[in-house]
Structures are given as C-alpha cells and as structure tokens.
A and B are shown apart, each in its own frame.
Chain A
C-alpha cells in the first residue's frame, strides 16, 4: 500500500464538495480519477500532493514515499506557452525537488534528465525552444520533467487536455508503458472516460452525491459506470 485515503472529505472555503472517500493505491497500480467538473478532482490531486489538507480524514503515505518523490504533471497554464526556455532547462528543473538546498545541478541530475528524455524519445529536441514545440511534444517535455521527480508515483492532471487525437493516444500509450515497464504507480485525473476504462486498473468516480471506487471491470458493470460511459439506458429515451 503506497497511498491510503481514510475517510477523506474535500472542500474549500468551509464547504464540503465530496462524500467521505476511502481508497488506496498500491505499488504498480493505475488509478484513474473521473467525474463531473467541479466534483473535486483537482482538489483531490492537490490533497495527494500535500498542497491542501483535507477537511476531514487522513491521507497516509507509505514510509518509503515522500511528497517530493511524486512526479506531477499539472494542467498546462496559459503562461508557459511563450516562455523562453529550452527543453533541457525544463526537464532538468524536475530534479530540483530532491536537491534540498543545493543550488546547482550535479552530474547525477543531468544523467537522470538525459535518461528521461531518451525514454520519451525526445532527446533530439533537447536544445529546442519549448514555445516552438507542438502541443504533444510540449506535453512529453512536461512528462519527462515529472519523471525526473517521480521515484515511485506519477500523478497526472488531465495529461491529454488540448491534444489532438493522435497525440492523445500517444500520451496514454506512454503512460501505460511507464506503468507496465517501469513499474511506476500512476494516478491520473481524466475526463476521457473511454481511455480511462481501457487503461486503468482501478477507477475512482467522483460525482455529485455519487462515488465509486473499485476495479475497472466492476465500474463498467455498475450503474454509475454505464451511465457515464453512455452504454446504460437513457431515461429520457425510455420515456419517449
């Protein structure tokens, strides 16, 4: 068990937005967090990163994991798109969290950054300017940066947002490979429900008043899953 949420409830400004959540993520797991907008997905991510504390309950990390060991791919902000920075500078900055007060990079960090660039086959983009890359390439760069920080867990917030279908598929494929071959635990927020059930081992569905946590197969078979996947009965059609 790497991360365990025990009776966690989320909210902000004193207003609770989720039911109490109970779920756990074990090593090598692939958990997808799905749900409607405003259901608390992003708040949950922030809570897992330790940036906000839950209104109730506890997030328990295994002793072998610290917050800074979690690789994080945030939703892309507008601000970054015209930033003068090379791919190398950005990927290398992923190593900073584990460096403590040490101000400059050592050989070890540079090696790690290089490995991750190769792993995502963007090593040839190393000296390219970030702002001239395509959306898919930019996202790969940010994933490589996240890998520099990820010792065991990779936390992705809408990694395919704004990508075209081809780049989207590539992105999901990459994440799956990292999960399979590198044994990285993946926690992904997504509203691409079809991709979620195709790749994930577990699903956490956050809804307004409805929550589901379980294996992907069970989710697909459940009422809430069917409704969300669009394969359940539609009440309105039945009425006609």
Chain B
C-alpha cells in the first residue's frame, strides 16, 4: 500500500499529471451536469451522435489544414445539436433515425476523407486516438488548462443561473411554454452547451466514449436520488470521482485514460443500482 502511495506522490509531483487531473475532472463535471438534462429529455444518444459528427468535422478540418481545428468542429457540432434538439421534440421517430443516420454517416465520411487525403503517415493511430481518446491529456500545458477552466466556469455558471428554468423546461415543456417561459431559447442553450462539452471532451475520452461521461453519472444518481437537485449533485460527484480514479489508474497501470474513466463509471452504476434496491434518498 505504501509503495502505491509513494508512487502516486511521485507522479503527482509532475505538473502534467496535475494538469491532466484538473482538466479531466472539469470535463467530467460539465458533462455530468448537462448529462442529467439530456438523459431526462430522452436524448441520451445525442452525445453519441454529435461526437461522431464532430469526428467527421475534425477529419475535414485536418484535411483543410486548419490550424486550430476547434474553429471548424465547434460551429458544425453546435448547429447540428440545435437542429436535433429542436426537431427531435415533435417527431420522435424521425429524430432518432436522423441522429443514427448522421452519426454513422459522419464517421464513415470522416474516415474516408482521412484516407483519401492523408495528413500524417500514421492514419490508423490518429483515428484510434480520436475515437478512443488521445494521450494528449498527458501533454497539456498551462494555457490548455486555463482555457479548459474558463470553459468549465462558463458552463457551470450557465447551469446554475438557469437551473430552475432548465428544470422546468426539462420536466414539462408544454407547461413552461404555456406560462411564458421561452422554451426555445433554453433548448438552444442546452444544445449549444452540449456541443461545446462534446468537442472539448473528445480530447479526453475520444469521440466513441464521450456519451459515457454524459449518461453514466446521471443514470447512477437516478438509481438512488428522488429529487432533481439530489440527482444533479450526486451525478456531479460520481463524475468527478470516476474521472479522478480513472486517471490515477491509467497512470499506475498504464491503461488508456478514456476507457479507464468509463470503466469506473460502469462500476459506480452497478454499485448504485444495487444500493438503490434498498435505499432511496
């Protein structure tokens, strides 16, 4: 035990490990907050669809040789998120199908483009790291951490300011609309923030795994908590703890970062499901 702690202490003395932890925790926290809304709006799959599309957009950006890919990827993903959240509400089946179509389509086209116009000698490696998370989380510098912190701050602030309205819009859209709440505006906020989270989080866990960060903490929390506030707080805590444990394990056992975090989330889900059989708070 002592040797493990010593080893941990040794790793934590490196700034890059500290940076990875900070960024990982912040991203997981943001995903969990908006994940609660997406799960309750029956939009669990949105994260998946959007991240695949983001992969396609990323491929295009790479081929175009754009310096900072985020300027291409973020707008495309955001527009799509707005489109899907708005349209999907009324035409449920069509929305589902549209999402499935778009997500696999983007994946295929993205991989095609990367192969036709190879930007680097190691395409398979590039693609694999985009899909399952890069080790780039371990190569962050101070500026990256600052940008991420600002992003997270804005997302969390938005969530807190609009908390009550977001609750109302998620729980009952027709009532909210009928009593004068601008539901369209809040849906757009939710969609855009989701897109931002996905694009930022892609670096951490990769585009195939990002929806795990969105759905797992919320679903775990819902096993035990009966209030909305409780669910939100619990899912935030689960997300943060999973992210920390996942990163630590990946460093100690040299496992890939993204999957390690997701596996921790799965373990929490199992634990909470069993606990929820006996205790509800």
Interface residues of A (CB under 8 A from B): 49, 51, 66-68, 70-74, 77, 79-80, 83-86, 89-90, 92-94, 96-98, 103-105, 128-129, 131-132, 142, 145-146, 149, 155
Contact = CB atoms under 8 A, between A and B. Distances in A.
A79 B42 contact: yes
A131 B226 contact: yes
A89 B230 CA distance: 11
Nearest to B160: A103
Report which residue of B164, B178, B181 has the largest number of chain A beta carbons within 10 angstroms of its beta carbon. B178
Contacts of A105: 164
Contacts of A67: 178, 180
B230 A84 contact: yes
Contact of B226 (A68, A97, A132): A132
Interface stretch (B51-59, B112-120, B167-175, B253-261): B167-175
Given A96-B164, A103-B161, A74 B228 contact: no
Contacts of B221: 84
B127 interface: no
B36 to A, nearest CB: 9
Given A103-B163, A132-B226, A90 B171 contact: yes
B149 to A, nearest CB: 23
Contacts of B179: 68, 70-72, 94, 96-97, 149
A85 B175 contact: no
A85 B227 contact: yes
Interface of B: 40, 42, 160-165, 167-168, 171-172, 174-181, 221-222, 225-231, 280
B178 A70 contact: yes
Given A74-B174, A131-B226, A145-B175, A97 B42 contact: no
Contacts of B280: 129
A149 to B, nearest CB: 5
B180 A83 contact: no
Given A80-B172, A84-B221, A85-B171, 10 more contacts: A49-B178, A77-B172, A84-B40, A84-B227, A85-B167, A89-B227, A90-B171, A93-B171, A97-B180, A131-B226
